[in-house]
Amino acid sequence: MHNLSATRCIRRKRGRSMRIEIEHVIEGIRERYEEPLSLHDLGEMARLTPFHMARVFREQTGLPPAQFLTAVRLEAAKQHLLRTDLSIADISLQVGYMSIGSFTTRFSKTFGVSPGQYRRMTELGPDAVEFAAGSADASYTYGSVRGRLHREDGLDHVPVFVAAFHAARSSGRPARCYRVVRSSDPWTIAHVPAGRWYVEAVSLSPSRKDSVVAGSMGPVDVTPGASIEVDMALVPSQRVRTADSERCSLAFALPELYAS
């Protein structure tokens, strides 16, 4: 069971009357999860035999005590990965794992990503983090593309539309789009599926009537949990080299697509 489901299960059941012995075990786990707690240790917290404590714990919470301990440890590991610069080896020790291999295996099996991939997901934003946390059964298969744009016409205050097109599809709407409020702002296209992608940008150039500046990059290989960096120059559309004329035409229409 996913660790979020585990803790929610505990919260739901704790809304009922729970035996004080099990309350002691739950609080003890939360306070001492970094220790090598055994079933005997947990039994002592409840002042019950290990076997009796385990049976009552499951009756009261719906979970075996070892599973709840793992859930608490992994939740603590997630917070360390997102909020600290501690190495993965140090984090594994701090949450009670003597072996980094065991920690990585358990974390990956629970969340569908390795600890290192989970940490890199902070670059994709909180939505990506919640996506991975939402299902223990789904593999995390998204990355992102980010970068900066450089305009030849110097109009850095003008909006730009950036789009990612899958390399295997020669036409159709872009799979991922992003509106950059100012051309000089850094941008990120989040939740790009793993694979080969072309990235194109287009903007109107008010300095000349009906003029369009554009840029094209690719193909780039997006891998799960990684953020690919690209720099693109926006030049007059006649000078843009693209892999597919249909795709290029669609990219140039992006401002109109967004306005509709």
> How many Å apart are CA 41 and CA 49, to the nearest integer?
10
4 pLDDT exceeds 60? no
Name which of 91, 90, 249, 89 is nearest 163 in CA terms.
249
Mean pLDDT of 41-61: 90
pTM exceeding 0.85: no
250 pLDDT exceeds 90? no
> How many Å apart are CA 35 and CA 87, to the nearest integer?
19
39: which residues sit within 8 A by CB, 6+ positions away? 50, 53, 54, 65, 66
Among the residue ranges 35-49, 136-150, 156-170, 211-225, the one predicted with the least confidence is 136-150
Among the residue ranges 25-39, 41-55, 154-168, 244-258, the one predicted with the least confidence is 244-258
Q: Which long-range contacts (CB under 8 A, 24 or more apart) does 120-128 make?
A: 120/225, 120/226, 120/227, 121/225, 122/82, 123/188, 123/227, 124/188, 124/190, 124/191, 124/227, 125/188, 125/190, 127/190, 127/191, 128/190, 128/191
